[in-house]
Amino acid sequence: MSRIRLAPMLILCSSLAIVCAAGEAALSAQATSSPSRTAKQYRVVKIETVDADGNVGFFTSLAIDRSGRPAISYRDYTNFSLKCARWTGSSWKVETVDASGDVGWSSSIAFDAAGNPAISYYDGKNQALKFARWTGSTWQTEIVDRSANVGLHTSLAFDAAGNPAISYYDDTNDDLKFARWDPVKKRWLIQTVDSAGDVGNHTSLAFTRSGQPAISYYVGETGDLRFARWDARQGKWHIETVDAEGDVGLFSSLAFDAAGHPAISYFDRTHDDLKFARWNGSRWEVQTVDAEGTVGLRCSLAFDRDGRPAISYFGNGNLRLAWWDGKRWHIQIVDATEMAGNYTSLAFDAAGNPRISYFYVTDADLRFAWLKRVK
């Protein structure tokens, strides 16, 4: 079987960002024109190094709390630990979340209803899925699933009731799995979502407006992008192929638009392109966003305050941002430093300003880009 194996520089757990905003016209099935590379909707205000203590910044995942302050989870490769950096309003507070063994792989961060950060991640020593949660005074960690070699490619989200849920890969059985906290039974309930082939790499989890989980993921055996959605009435997962044109679906990132339709950014390995798929209510519309060189690695999708998609990604050795204006895609380089932009994660604050966390490969540092909307 063809399988994506764990490698520090090649695997990303795509981060999730969902922004509810006003709707827009549907995207065309194919790109109507070449992307613009001159328009500047966002101005780079500041690029800073968040953490330079060792080889740090792998598997970054970004979330913004209700006060507009970002938090980043990531792996410290020097100390084999999971770290979290939180913006206090004037500086970054960096702390070690878990240093027990070989942890922090495939991290994914989200805020709970109380505004406290939580992180899902893989424990390489115990080959297990773990979950960490800030209580307000300390980090509490627990093992969610250790039934096999499980927990790669995690993606974390909270449901409407405030309960955490995680999508992840079972490397032993080549399956996509899903864990959800049951507040009544006081334990994690675990399901196998898809076991048809080598499935479940590069997962991204989000909840629909009706509160049902949905997951985008890569099929290693056939090189396809798939989408799974839970149907509560039927009590089962509905699974479909989104794109099967070549080897596609790596680094998938899922978000829902203002109309409640799913959208996914992902990498096309056959053509080395960044692609974008969006459900229009009856079918998936697929676009090539950027095809200039090798682009689309470690992509992250979010919707802006106008309900329009934006994607951060690693392309041709630097950090890029693609955004849709309602008619066409625009692309701008955010950090032109060579080998800056790996493991990107994108989120918008309440004012519609994009924030991006990422790994600077050359110096092995965690970086953060502050951008401001100018249009």
- Domain spans of the chain? 42-373
pLDDT, position 139: 98
The angle formed by the CA atoms of residues 214, 1 and 262, to the nearest 5 degrees, is: 15
Inter-residue contact 196 to 187 (CB < 8 Å): no
The C-alpha atoms of residue 139 and residue 117 are separated, in whole angstroms, by 9
Give yes or no for a contact between 198 and 188, defined as CB atoms under 8 angstroms apart: no
Q: What share of the chain is helix, strand, coil (3-state, %, to 5)?
A: 0, 60, 40
The tokens for 48 are: 């800073």
d(CA 223, CA 175): 15
- pTM, two decimals, is 0.91
Q: What is the pLDDT of residues 264-321, one digit of tens each?
A: 999 999 999 999 999 999 999 999 999 999 999 999 999 999 999 999 999 999 999 9
Neighbours of 332 (CB within 10 A): 19
Which single residue is written with the structure tokens 């507009």? 68
pLDDT of residue 33: 59
* Per-residue pLDDT of the chain in tens (375 residues, 90 and over written 9): 333 333 333 333 333 333 333 333 344 444 445 898 877 789 999 999 999 999 999 999 999 999 999 999 999 999 999 999 999 999 999 999 999 999 999 999 999 999 999 999 999 999 999 999 999 999 999 999 999 999 999 999 999 999 999 999 999 999 999 999 999 999 999 999 999 999 999 999 999 999 999 999 999 999 999 999 999 999 999 999 999 999 999 999 999 999 999 999 999 999 999 999 999 999 999 999 999 999 999 999 999 999 999 999 999 999 999 999 999 999 999 999 999 999 999 999 999 999 999 999 999 999 999 999 997
Q: Is 314 exposed, middle or buried (0-12, 13-18, 19+ CB in 10 A)?
A: buried
Q: Which CATH class is domain 42-373?
A: mainly beta
Residue 45 burial by Cβ neighbours in a 10 Å radius (0-12, 13-18, 19+): exposed
Calculate the dihedral angle through the C-alpha atoms of 24, 247, 37, 58, rounding to the nearest 10 degrees: 100
